[in-house]
Structure formats: C-alpha cells, structure tokens
C-alpha cells in the first residue's frame, strides 16, 4: 500500500507528521469548550406581550388568537404553544429543523407587525426573540447578612449585578427576592372627594409636574445650543409641592390630598437559603459560551466582590452546574485512561513482546489526540455526547493497530526481515482493515443524521466516533508499520522472568486453543443445520426477554441534587406562599444527607433546590431520597407537588406527560380530571398533576350602560380609575444620584382592604359632577382560570406524573394506548404524548432508523470489499448474534432498554462485522490459493482467532470502566457498557462458528447455481 510504503521507507516524514498531529491536537484540546450538552441552535421563536391587569380569557381573545392566526400563515411552522396568565401572553413557535432560526424570527416579527394595529392599544410592545435552549442558569448565588433586605438589595444592584455583567461570557443576571426602591404617592379618597378631584387628574398633573422635555435647538453666532425644559423633581419633598388642580382660585397640591413616601415596590418573589431570607441571583451564560470557563470567571469575580462588601454580608454559591459538568468530564477522561490501560494489557498478554505492545499502545493516545483536531474544526465541544463517543471508541481505536501489528508479527515469525514483514503483513491485511474501519464508520455516520431535537445532540456523538476511526485507520497504516520495521526483531527473545514465563505459558495454551477451535469448527461445518437451529433458538429466546428489561428514554442518573416544585391554591398572596415554603424547608431539615436548601417563591410556584452530599458518602440514591421526601411533603395541605432527583440531560419536566386538546374548556377539564383520577390510582404514578389553576376569585363590575350614558360617565375612564386606585399606576420616574426610580400612584392601604371600598370611588360625569362608581355598576363574584394553555390554536391541559417502581417508557406506552383507545373520550377532545416524551419518542424512532441505515451502508461497504453481493450475507447473519448478548448483559446488570443502550447495540453491529470481515477476507485469500471451502475456513479460523480475540477482549476490557464506573453521570453511560460487553461475549463466540457455517452454505448455493448455469448454457455451445 502506498501509505505504508512511504511510511516504512521514509520514517522521519511520518514521524514529523504524527508529531504535528499530536501538537496541534493538544492545542485544539485545550481550546475546546466544556459544556453539559452540545450547543444546538433550534428554530424556536418566542413572542411575549404584556397588558397589565388584564384577565387571561380577555388576553386569549384579544391577543393570543390573533397572533396565532398570523404566525400560522408562515411556512415551516410545526407547533404553536401559548401560555397565558394575568397580564401576559407568551407564544412559542416551533418550526421544522430545516428552517433557519434567524429567518424564522424575522418572519414571525413581520407577521406580528402586520396585526399590531388590531391588538389593544395599551399593550407593551411585543418582544420577539429566538428561544435559546442553553439560556439556563449556570450559577445560583444567595446573598444574605445582618443588614435589612432593602440595604442588601441596594448593594446587590449597585455592586454585585453590575460587576457580574462585565464578566466575559455572562449573558444575563436574574435577581429574586430583592426590594426595589419606589416613590409611593398614596391618595386619600375622602380628600379627593372634598376637593372634587379624580385620580386621572392627579396622575396627569403629577406627570406634567415631574418632566423633562427637549425644546429643539437655537443658533447663537456660530454655535448651536440645545434647548431642554427641566421640570424634574429634585428631592422627595418636591413631590408635595406639585400642583394637581385649581379649585376656586386655589392651587391644590399633592400634600393636600396624598402622602409621599420613599418605599419599595410590591415584592414579586422571595428567596430563602438554608431557612433564612436571602436575595437570589441566577447567572445565565451567553449562547455558545464555555460553561465551565464562564463559571470559573464568575467565581473569580466573586472573590473580588467579597472584598468590597460590608462586614456581615455573605455571598454563597448555591448551585454550580460547572461542578457536575467538570466531574462528569473528569469521570469520562478517567474511564478513557482506564480503558486504554486495560486494552494495552490485553495486547501485551497476546503479543508477548513489549515492542509490539508499545506500538499498539502509542497508536491509542495518538488517535484520540488527533481526533481533537477534527472536533475543533467542526466546532464541537467537550460534552457528555462527544466524550461518551471517545470512551466508546477506546476499544475500537486499538483494534486496527492490533490487527496490523499481529499480522506483521506473524510474518516476522515466518523468518522475514522486519521491513519486509511490515510491508507484506500490512499489505495482506490492509484491505480487510480498510473494510472493517469503513464498516464501523458506515454504522456511526447515520447517527449524525438522526432527526429532531435529539438528532441535534447526537451529531457530535456520531461524527466524533467516525473521525476517531478514520484517524485510527491512518495511524494503523502509517505509524504502526513504520515503528514495527524499526523496533521488531525476527528472532524470539528468551524470557527468564516470571512474567515472561507466564506469557509463554499463556501463548502455548492459546495455540492449543486455536487447534481445538479448528477441530471443533470442523465438527460444526459437518452439522451446519443443527448449528443454525440452535443459534436461531437462542436469538428468539433473547428477543422474548426484551419486555422483561423495561424501557426508558434516558437512564436516570444521580448528580447529587433534588428539585422540588410546588404550586399552591389560587389566590394566595406571596407572603402566604412564603410560609408554605418555610413548611417545606422545615420538613427537609431531618435528612442528614441534605447539605443546603435554596428556595425561590414567585407568584406562580415554589421551587426548592436540595443539595445532597456526594453519592459516595451516602447509602441512599437521590431517587430513593426523592421518594421519601415526596411522602413527607404530601402531608402539607394545599400543595401540588413535583419531586425529582436531579439528573444529567433534559430533566426539568416530569417523567411522563400527556397533552389533552380541545376547544370546549369544560369538556376538556372534565376529561382531564377523569384521566388524572385514573392515573392517580396507579401505584407507580407519583406527583400526578394538571397544569390548570381554577379558583382565582374575581369581582366583575358589570356596567349599567343606560345609567352611565344618562350621567355622562366615560366607562373606559371609570375602568382606568379603578385600576389606578387598586392596582396602582406609574406616574413617571424620580432621578436621584444617577439612578432612576419608579413613581407609583395608588390608593391608601387602609382604603383598599375590601370590596366595600369601591363604594367610595367617584368618577367625573356630565358638567364635572362626581358620580359614585356604585351608581353605575353592580358587583358579581365569580371564579376564573388563572392560566390558559393553548397548543396549535386549541385549548390544552397537560397531565403529567413521575414514575416510580416501573420503567417510565413502559408506563408511558401503557397509558398512551389506554387513553387513546378510551371509548368514552368526548367528541372534539384529542390526547397525545407531550413534553420531552414526544421529543424522545421521535428521537428513538429516528435512532432505530439510523441503525437500519447503518446496517445497510455496512453491507454496501462489504460488497465493495469482497466484490460480491452474496459473501457479505454470511457476515450480516452474525449481527443478530450481538443482540443475544446485549439483552443478556442488560438483564444481568439490571439496566433498562434506552437510547443509551441502543447506542451500544449500534456499536456492536460494527464490532461484529469487523470479526466477520477478518474471517471471510482470509478465507477468500486461501480459496484463491486453491484450498477447498472447509479447509480454507478452518485455516482462517485458526489464523484469525488471535486478532479476533485480541480485539474483542481489548474492547471488553476497554468498556469495563464504562460499565462499572460510579462517578458523576456514570448511570447514563453504564447501559452502553452492559450492552457492548454482553453482546461482544456472545457474538464473538457465535460468530466464530456461525459465519463459517453460513459462508459455506452460501458457497454451496453459488456452486449449485454455477453448475446449473453451465448445464443450461452447454447445449448452445455444442451446437
């Protein structure tokens, strides 16, 4: 082969090339980003619209439906999700993956602009942006101390957040539980009535009394001077002197009808850290930034910030995602190193020489380091998927080197000089090595073509394995023969050490095994149909065991945390929710495994992050602790709970979810409640919940149109007056010491305690007469939806649950069939799998298709290698043999069938094909030399037994660290190891017999076909 000839004859050239690869690869490795998962840009676009104080059903009618209809006209729209709550509407549009996110965002922007005039005038301008899946907090901080919350809030705003924003890679900083300064102007209804003033007049005049407006420009000589009218309030007392009206030639000022105070905004959230009130800070990285590097930069900045803080104020890092990512990466690197060492030991055991072992050992790290060049060129990162690919590839990367060096050593022992042995040994096995490598590449490249969101993550996995295999092929055909020609000697060494004696004994026994195998193969070839029947029986039995494994999409892993989410009854105040949060934290104090608690309380829910001790330091897994915590917290009344053990990968949603869709809300709710009851009765279902929140009490002021018209009352003005008094209305800004603070006008607290206070409100009527609100309205109490969810322009209710004691995939499949086949499902109601389950289902189906495509591509590669469409069938027949061991391996280890174990099966397809190619390639060579079919197969088996077992054992021992690892994220990778090890054991044992049997049967079929063809053709020739 040309590459081998150049390498052997010009060793300096190939040495320089390899050294360059190693140097550049190391530089690329140091510059690769470190993240949890691969960066992926998905075509999701969000539209956020706010209209303060408006009920969800009004927003649905006036905003959501119009925007949904406009967006639905865009090509490539896959789904439209809408979430509506009081005063806000959030619409997420999912496009097909082929759509450019930038184009999608621009088209959504254009469509929203086209319907802007038909939307209410008082909405804030719609905010349209691409949805960033990676925009999640990488660090959560808790700021606490002996100071009051307002003082801490000022330090957080002035010092901490401003400093964090300047850190390279930080995208946003979100603060929870802070008290924001606000100038509060509290109106006195009695005084307003006495002076004949309305709130609308007050707000308008306060705005005009606290303003600064540009006045254009004026020329003075050669200079141009800007004009500005400044009527801004300079101090808090100045607010009292603002004139709000004139009555009977008397100026009425703010001090006459209101009080002014330097207060705080109504709290939007509360944070607790280890039971004490604190201010929470979430740091979100920029899209594409290195998670670990950004987290390190932030922590370095925090050390500087701590020196600026007053005594008694503390900043604690509550959640640090970079720790789990770094631990997972280090664990995979450790697994790779352990696999490399074990693989090299196996090589040494078989080759019996340190020189040949050194050559194989050097090829392994060289291949891995060189792979980093391709990863950098493709803009990959060091993440769970790419490192998992490298850990799987450890056994694969040494395979090619083992096969080449073993064949060179065999030629060397024939008495050939090292250079000739290197050239002829590599040339003889070169095509087989090419075929085996391309067969494996053909299996893994289709993984990069997996569709859906899961496919975006698997691109790096499939291509990293493919790159590493191609690099390994290059190393095996260049570096390995070059080093062999320089280091290996023809004569055998006499070993006088214990290790040497053991190796001689081992190889003698292995040679005896080879002879025994050849003899046994001879017997098997004489009983081919019995062998086939036994093999098929084993395969059928293993397939019947698959339902016993259970099925889940992603194996649960233990990352040392538990996430608790709780929703409360509608109508509870933020302070009441805070008390519920304290009850949760009190219940958790009894667990010695818990080190820290971090809770955030918002208007929607209570979220508690539970940090556990390292899993090596506790007897219970995070999932077992989550189950115990769930049972304890269920005793707290008024909470709808979700308790989940922290895991790697997408884990924010519950284990299973169903989307129930329709247009009639009452029908939807009735069926959803029925489905929830059915699900709750299953002992495996935990945290069963619906995403509807009824029961928010509202008082409707129904207007008597005739009375309002007779009295000359502007109804919209009346509505705005009520909103201003009870909810408050912004009345400009107050600038002080370089900061701007909100000015808010509302009613005095003691005058807005109950519905009866509405009776004291007056609005302007005809002839400026004050008309009481109660004279033109009457109150109607009712309940309304707190939130509305829509899916593809229909109302939606999500039914979700966590699963315990059963594989989540099996549970999902069982209830999907049960719900969809329910004869009592109402007309117009549809149910489907939702959330991450839908994404995973699509990804799993696509992965199965990738496996089938890989097998097809592998067959085509082998047909080109053997110049035959029939011979590769013998090798293809051995592929199911891998499934026997994969199922047994998963069953023995207690692992479920999942996407990760399926990847192990895909890897097995390539490995089994490699062994079969070595057998068939050598058999065909001996057939060309004149040997009969059985003799050629027996010699091929005896000669290729050593490299087959070497590569198999190297792969098995390389995967043992993956299967047995206990470090961070090990639970997710372990099923791959279980499947690969089990599949390799059975497939190798069966392949050594089934491939020769099937090959001989196919050869008989070819011979029979040729004889028949000759018989049919010969009469024509005679004539």
237-272 pLDDT per residue, tens: 888 888 888 877 788 888 888 888 888 887 888 888
User: Do 117 and 251 sit in the same domain of this protein?
Assistant: no
- Residues 419-454 as b or e (16 or more Cβ within 10 Å = b): bbbbbbbbbbbbebbbbbbbbbbbbbbbbbebbbbb
Tell me what percent of the residues of the chain surpass a pLDDT of 90: 8
Structure tokens at 768: 């400026």
From 785, 812, 833, the end of a domain falls on 785
Contacts of residues 308-315 at CB distance under 8 Å and 24 or more positions apart, as own/partner, are: 308/159, 309/155, 309/159, 310/145, 310/147, 310/155, 312/145, 312/146, 312/147, 313/143, 313/144, 313/145, 313/146, 313/147, 313/152, 313/155, 314/143, 314/144, 314/145, 315/141, 315/142, 315/143, 315/160
User: Does 675 or 822 have the greater pLDDT score?
Assistant: 675
Taking alpha carbons only, the member of 293, 282, 291, 284 closest to residue 132 is 284
User: Do 277 and 257 sit in the same domain of this protein?
Assistant: no
Q: How much is the pLDDT for 818?
A: 86
Q: Does residue 516 surpass a pLDDT of 90?
A: no
- In angstroms, the CA 808 to CA 802 distance is 8
Q: How much is the pLDDT for 484?
A: 86
Q: Is residue 75, in this structure, part of any structural domain at all?
A: yes
Taking alpha carbons only, the member of 878, 923, 883, 880 closest to residue 901 is 883
- The total of other beta-carbon atoms located within 10 Å of residue 216's CB is 8
Mean per-residue pLDDT for 454-470? Answer: 84
User: Do 144 and 293 sit in the same domain of this protein?
Assistant: yes
Taking alpha carbons only, the member of 629, 1006, 659, 593 closest to residue 831 is 659
Strands 243-247 and 250-253: antiparallel
Q: Is residue 703, in this structure, part of any structural domain at all?
A: yes
Structure tokens at 65: 């439906």
Q: How much is the pLDDT for 1023?
A: 40
Q: Which of 637-641, 914-918, 979-983 has the highest mean pLDDT?
A: 979-983
User: Does 729 or 576 have the greater pLDDT score?
Assistant: 576
Whether the model clears a pTM of 0.85, i.e. scores above it, the answer is no
Q: Is residue 142, in this structure, part of any structural domain at all?
A: yes
- In angstroms, the CA 25 to CA 18 distance is 10
- In angstroms, the CA 361 to CA 594 distance is 44
- In angstroms, the CA 394 to CA 403 distance is 15
Q: Does residue 504 surpass a pLDDT of 90?
A: no
User: Does 659 or 211 have the greater pLDDT score?
Assistant: 659
Q: Write the pLDDT tens digit of every residue in 217-230.
A: 887 777 788 887 77
Q: How much is the pLDDT for 532?
A: 85
Structural domain harbouring 84: 44-130
Strands 181-187 and 739-747: parallel
Q: Write the pLDDT tens digit of every residue in 809-867.
A: 888 888 888 888 878 888 888 888 877 777 777 777 777 888 888 888 888 888 887 78
168: phi then psi, degrees, rounded to nearest 5: -60, 125
The CATH number given to whatever domain includes residue 738 is 3.30.2090.10
- In angstroms, the CA 104 to CA 117 distance is 22
Using pLDDT thresholds of 50, 70 and 90, give the confidence band for residue 1015. Answer: low
Structure tokens at 1014: 């000759």
Q: How much is the pLDDT for 894?
A: 82
Q: What residues form DSSP beta bridges with 310? A: none
User: Do 737 and 765 sit in the same domain of this protein?
Assistant: yes
Q: Does residue 20 surpass a pLDDT of 90?
A: yes
Instruction: List, in sequence order, every beta strand (DSSP E) within 2-117.
Output: 44-50, 77-85, 88-95
User: Do 174 and 190 sit in the same domain of this protein?
Assistant: no
User: Do 700 and 765 sit in the same domain of this protein?
Assistant: yes
User: Do 104 and 244 sit in the same domain of this protein?
Assistant: no
Structure tokens at 361: 């050992």
Q: What is the dihedral of CA 442, 445, 449, 453, to 10 degrees?
A: 140
Q: Is residue 934, in this structure, part of any structural domain at all?
A: no
Q: How much is the pLDDT for 16?
A: 93
Q: How much is the pLDDT for 24?
A: 94
Q: How much is the pLDDT for 892?
A: 86
Taking alpha carbons only, the member of 487, 446, 488 closest to residue 465 is 446
- DSSP, collapsed to helix, strand or coil, labels residue 415 as coil
Q: Is residue 65, in this structure, part of any structural domain at all?
A: yes
698 vs 602, 633, 720, CA distance in Å? 20, 30, 17
User: Do 700 and 775 sit in the same domain of this protein?
Assistant: yes
Contact by Cβ (8 Å): 648, 36:
yes
Mean per-residue pLDDT for 966-986? Answer: 80
Q: How much is the pLDDT for 650?
A: 45
Q: Does residue 494 surpass a pLDDT of 60?
A: no
Q: How much is the pLDDT for 1022?
A: 44
Half-sphere exposure of residue 696: CA atoms within 13 angstroms, side-chain side:
17
Contact by Cβ (8 Å): 568, 606:
yes
- In angstroms, the CA 290 to CA 287 distance is 9
- In angstroms, the CA 863 to CA 856 distance is 11
- In angstroms, the CA 67 to CA 51 distance is 14
Contact by Cβ (8 Å): 902, 555:
no
Q: Write the pLDDT tens digit of every residue in 301-348.
A: 999 998 888 888 889 898 888 887 887 777 777 777 877 787 788 778
Mean per-residue pLDDT for 539-555? Answer: 80
Q: How much is the pLDDT for 93?
A: 92
What total of structural domains would you count in the chain? 3
Contact by Cβ (8 Å): 762, 771:
yes
- In angstroms, the CA 876 to CA 881 distance is 10
Contact by Cβ (8 Å): 228, 215:
yes
Structure tokens at 742: 């909100």
Using pLDDT thresholds of 50, 70 and 90, give the confidence band for residue 82. Answer: very high
Structure tokens at 927: 């057939």
Tell me what percent of the residues of the chain surpass a pLDDT of 70: 93
Cα torsion angle, 26, 28, 31, 32, sign: negative
User: Do 172 and 272 sit in the same domain of this protein?
Assistant: yes
Kind and range of the H or E element at 640? Answer: strand 639-645
Mean per-residue pLDDT for 199-226? Answer: 77
Q: Is residue 55, in this structure, part of any structural domain at all?
A: yes
Q: How much is the pLDDT for 558?
A: 76
Structure tokens at 126: 């719609």
Helix axes 933-964, 498-526, angle to 10 degrees: 130
Mean per-residue pLDDT for 282-302? Answer: 87
User: Does 92 or 769 have the greater pLDDT score?
Assistant: 92
Taking alpha carbons only, the member of 641, 637, 614 closest to residue 626 is 641
Q: Is residue 446, in this structure, part of any structural domain at all?
A: no
Q: Write the pLDDT tens digit of every residue in 58-80.
A: 899 999 999 999 999 999 898 89
User: Does 85 or 649 have the greater pLDDT score?
Assistant: 85
Q: Is residue 189, in this structure, part of any structural domain at all?
A: yes
- In angstroms, the CA 870 to CA 351 distance is 34
For Cα atoms 596, 599, 602, give the angle at the middle one, nearest 5 degrees: 175
- Under DSSP, the state recorded for 495 is P
Q: How much is the pLDDT for 74?
A: 92
Q: How much is the pLDDT for 221?
A: 74
- In angstroms, the CA 941 to CA 992 distance is 7
Structure tokens at 288: 């594409």
Instruction: List, in sequence order, every beta strand (DSSP E) within 101-256.
Output: 127-130, 137-145, 170-176, 181-187, 211-220, 223-231, 243-247, 250-253
Q: Does residue 745 surpass a pLDDT of 80?
A: yes
User: Do 60 and 87 sit in the same domain of this protein?
Assistant: yes
User: Do 104 and 239 sit in the same domain of this protein?
Assistant: no
- In angstroms, the CA 612 to CA 590 distance is 13
Q: How much is the pLDDT for 492?
A: 58
287: phi then psi, degrees, rounded to nearest 5: -60, 130
Mean per-residue pLDDT for 493-520? Answer: 73
167: phi then psi, degrees, rounded to nearest 5: -75, 135
- The total of other beta-carbon atoms located within 10 Å of residue 969's CB is 25
- In angstroms, the CA 159 to CA 178 distance is 14
- Under DSSP, the state recorded for 304 is H
The CATH number given to whatever domain includes residue 76 is 3.30.70.1430
The CATH number given to whatever domain includes residue 292 is 3.30.70.1320
Structure tokens at 784: 């309304």
Q: Does residue 235 surpass a pLDDT of 60?
A: yes
Using pLDDT thresholds of 50, 70 and 90, give the confidence band for residue 106. Answer: very high
Taking alpha carbons only, the member of 269, 297, 273, 270 closest to residue 283 is 297
Q: Does residue 629 surpass a pLDDT of 80?
A: yes
User: Do 147 and 290 sit in the same domain of this protein?
Assistant: yes
Mean per-residue pLDDT for 438-442? Answer: 83
């Amino acid at each position: 082969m040309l590459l081998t000839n150049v390498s052997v004859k010009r060793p300096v050239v190939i040495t320089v090339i390899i050294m360059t690869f190693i140097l550049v690869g190391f530089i690329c490795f140091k510059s690769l980003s470190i993240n949890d998962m691969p960066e992926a840009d998905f075509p999701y676009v969000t539209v956020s619209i706010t209209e303060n104080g408006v009920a969800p059903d009004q927003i649905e009618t006036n905003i959501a439906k119009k925007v949904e209809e406009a967006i639905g006209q865009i090509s490539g729209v896959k789904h439209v999700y809408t979430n509506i709550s009081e005063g806000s509407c959030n619409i997420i549009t999912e496009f097909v993956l082929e759509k450019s996110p930038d184009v999608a965002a621009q088209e959504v922007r254009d469509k929203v602009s086209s319907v802007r005039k038909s939307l209410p005038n008082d909405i804030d301008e719609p905010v349209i942006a691409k949805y960033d899946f990676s925009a999640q907090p990488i660090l959560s901080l808790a700021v606490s101390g002996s100071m009051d919350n307002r003082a801490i809030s000022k330090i957080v705003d002035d010092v901490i957040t401003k400093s964090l924003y300047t850190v390279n890679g930080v995208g946003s900083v979100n603060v929870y539980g802070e008290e924001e300064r606000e100038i509060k102007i509290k109106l006195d209804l009695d005084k307003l009535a006495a002076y004949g003033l309305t709130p609308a007049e007050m707000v308008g005049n306060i705005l005009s009394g606290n303003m600064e407006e540009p006045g254009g420009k004026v020329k003075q000589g050669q200079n141009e001077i800007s004009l500005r009218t400044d009527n801004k309030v300079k101090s808090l007392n100045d607010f009292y002197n603002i004139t709000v009206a004139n009555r009977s030639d008397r100026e009425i000022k703010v001090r006459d009808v209101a009080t002014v105070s330097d207060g705080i905004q109504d709290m939007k959230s509360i944070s607790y850290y280890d039971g004490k009130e604190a201010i929470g800070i979430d740091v979100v990285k920029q899209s594409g930034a290195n998670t670990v590097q950004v987290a390190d930069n932030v922590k370095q900045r925090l050390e500087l910030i701590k020196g600026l803080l007053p005594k008694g104020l503390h900043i604690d890092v509550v959640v640090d995602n970079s720790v789990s990512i770094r631990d997972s990466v280090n664990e995979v690197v450790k697994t790779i190193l352990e696999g490399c060492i074990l693989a090299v030991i196996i090589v040494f055991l078989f080759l019996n020489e340190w020189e040949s072992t050194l050559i194989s050992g050097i090829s392994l790290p060289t291949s891995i380091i060189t792979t980093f060049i391709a990863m950098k060129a493709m803009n990959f990162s060091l993440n769970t998927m790419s490192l998992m690919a490298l850990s799987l590839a450890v056994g694969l990367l040494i395979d090619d080197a083992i096969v080449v060096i073993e064949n060179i050593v065999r030629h060397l022992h024939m008495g050939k000089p090292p250079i000739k042995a290197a050239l002829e040994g590599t040339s003889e096995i070169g095509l087989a090595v090419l075929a085996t490598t391309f067969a494996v590449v053909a299996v893994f490249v289709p993984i990069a073509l997996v569709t859906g969101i899961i496919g975006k993550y698997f691109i790096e996995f499939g291509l990293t394995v493919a790159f590493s295999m191609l690099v390994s092929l290059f190393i095996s055909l260049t570096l390995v023969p070059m080093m062999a020609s320089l280091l290996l000697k023809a004569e055998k060494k006499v070993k006088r050490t214990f290790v040497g004696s053991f190796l001689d004994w081992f190889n003698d026994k292995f040679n005896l095994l080879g002879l025994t195998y050849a003899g046994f193969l001879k017997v098997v070839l004489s009983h081919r149909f019995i062998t086939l029947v036994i093999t098929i029986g084993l395969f059928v039995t293993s397939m019947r065991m698959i339902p016993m494994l259970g099925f889940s999409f992603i194996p649960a892993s233990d990352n040392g945390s538990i996430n608790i989410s709780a929703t409360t009854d509608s109508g509870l105040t933020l302070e009441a929710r805070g008390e519920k949060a304290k009850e949760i934290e009190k219940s958790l104090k009894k667990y010695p495994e818990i080190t820290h608690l971090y809770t955030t309380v918002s208007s929607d829910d209570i979220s508690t992050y539970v940090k556990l001790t390292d899993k090596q330091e506790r007897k219970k897994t995070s999932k077992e602790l989550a189950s115990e915590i769930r049972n304890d917290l269920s005793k707290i009344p008024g909470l709808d709970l979700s308790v989940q053990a922290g895991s790697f990968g997408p884990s924010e949603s519950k284990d299973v979810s169903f989307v129930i869709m329709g247009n009639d809300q009452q029908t939807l709710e009735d069926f959803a409640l029925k489905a929830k009851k059915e699900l709750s009765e299953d002992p495996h279902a935990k945290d069963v919940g619906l995403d509807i929140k009824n029961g928010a009490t509202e008082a409707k002021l129904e207007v008597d149109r005739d009375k309002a018209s007779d009295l000359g009352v502007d109804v919209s003005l009346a509505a705005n007056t009520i909103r201003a008094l009870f909810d408050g209305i912004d009345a400009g800004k107050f600038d002080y010491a370089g900061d701007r603070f909100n000015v808010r006008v509302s009613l005095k607290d003691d005058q807005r305690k109950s519905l009866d206070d509405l009776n004291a409100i007056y609005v302007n009527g005809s002839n400026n007469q004050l008309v009481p609100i109660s004279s033109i309205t009457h109150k109607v109490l009712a309940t309304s939806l707190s939130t509305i969810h829509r899916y593809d322009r229909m109302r939606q209710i999500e039914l979700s649950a966590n699963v315990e004691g059963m594989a989540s995939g099996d549970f999902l499949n069982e209830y999907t069939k049960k719900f969809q086949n329910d004869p009592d499902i109402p007309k117009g109601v549809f149910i489907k799998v939702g959330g991450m389950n839908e994404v995973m289902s699509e990804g799993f189906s696509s992965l199965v298709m990738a496996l089938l495509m890989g097998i097809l591509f592998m067959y085509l590669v082998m047909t080109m290698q053997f110049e035959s469409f029939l011979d590769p069938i013998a090798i293809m027949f051995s592929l199911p043999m891998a499934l026997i061991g994969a199922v047994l391996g998963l069953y023995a280890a207690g692992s479920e069938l999942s996407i990760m174990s399926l990847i192990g099966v895909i890897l097995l397809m390539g490995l089994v094909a490699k062994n079969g190619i070595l057998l068939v390639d050598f058999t065909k060579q001996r057939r060309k030399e004149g040997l009969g079919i059985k003799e050629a197969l027996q010699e091929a088996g005896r000669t290729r037994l050593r490299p087959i077992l070497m590569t198999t054992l190297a792969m098995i021992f390389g995967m043992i660290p993956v299967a047995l690892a206990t470090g961070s994220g090990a639970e997710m990778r372990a099923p791959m190891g279980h499947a690969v090890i089990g599949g390799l054991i059975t497939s190798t044992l069966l392949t050594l017999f089934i491939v020769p049997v099937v090959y001989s049967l196919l050869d008989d079929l070819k011979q029979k076909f040729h004889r028949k063809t000759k018989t049919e053709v010969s009469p024509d020739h005679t004539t």
